[in-house]
Amino acid sequence: MKARIHVMLKNGVLDPQGEAVRHALGGLGFDGVEGVRQGKVIELDLADGTPEDSVAEMCEKLLANTVIESYSIEFV
């Protein structure tokens, strides 16, 4: 069983990394880029029978800083 987790900064939280990427893209001549948001994608290989709600618990406890980040879980 595989789970794919997207962790992104919440809207309204400043994304300095995204700003740096946008600035660098502009410097390379890509001028159509109006905004950049960067986050994490984490793919978990789970043993069969691993309860799906334990993945949300993993996000809450370790994979996402829920104060400034939101996460979404997709089972593939």
| Residues that bind a copy of itself in the complex, under the rule CB under 8 A | 6, 8, 18, 21, 24-25, 28, 30, 32-47, 49-50, 54, 57-58, 61-63
What does the alpha-carbon distance between residue 72 and residue 61 come to, in Å, rounded to a whole number?
A: 14
Question: Closer to a copy of itself at the Cβ: 2 or 67?
Answer: 2
Question: Closer to a copy of itself at the Cβ: 47 or 67?
Answer: 47
User: What tokens appear for 1 in the block?
Assistant: 């069983």
> What is the smallest separation between the CB atom of 65 and a copy of itself, expressed in angstroms?
14
In sequence order, what are the residues at sequence separation of 6 or more whose Cβ sits closer than 8 angstroms to the Cβ of residue 58?
44
